[in-house]
Chain A
Amino acid sequence: SQQGEEDPQALSIQEGENATMNCSYKTSINNLQWYRQNSGRGLVHLILIRSNEREKHSGRLRVTLDTSKKSSSLLITASRAADTASYFCATNRYTNAGKSTFGDGTTLTVKP
């Protein structure tokens, strides 16, 4: 079974709007990562947030982590058509730290 679960499964917005995706997980983690996957392509690493961090920014991306609720959110501000993709969260535990466990992703569609 997957460690992370993304919500919503699918999201459709207009260009310029903000997109928020959520990830919940079950066990304590060392870090959590977000990836993007364009159709028919491999995954691209977006951002990593460690368990002792609460928020990180990278360009138009903002990631938060709430370890008490075992959840994370990815916010994409001022979305563009090129942001259309599937977004996955992946968790790494303290034990077997090299193993990333992925959720099933959120499919984001940004309409021009």
Chain B
Amino acid sequence: EAGVVQSPRYKIIEKKQPVAFWCNPISGHNTLYWYRQNLGQGPELLIRYENEEAVDDSQLPKDRFSAERLKGVDSTLKIQPAELGDSAVYLCASSLDQGTQYFGPGTRLLVL
């Protein structure tokens, strides 16, 4: 069974540019999570979806970040415009209901 797929794996952009990350969860998993992980720190939840509904987006900086999960499967996370402080690893995870979370390999973003 395929795990959580994320793309791209790496992204380098200049500040003020837009960037988008894509996540394909494990088939059948209705809950999807986006985390940001800064160097030397643990993941921090940005947004959690149950099916297509965002049920927890309290940590998402809504002035520049947006996310969507069309049809309750794949999801995209967008930053526009990116800032230097957005450099981090963006992790996607999925679970069945609120069970064990399975993480993708992450997208490493560097903003110059």
Contact = CB atoms under 8 A, between A and B. Distances in A.
B55 interface: yes
Contacts of B55: 98
Interface stretch (A53-61, A74-82, A99-107): A99-107
Contacts, number: 53
Contacts of A44: 103
Contacts of B100: 33, 45, 48
Given A96-B56, A98-B55, A100-B101, A42 B42 contact: no
Interface residues of A, number: 23
Interface in B7-64: 31, 40-45, 48, 50, 55-56
B41 A42 contact: no
B98 to A, nearest CB: 4
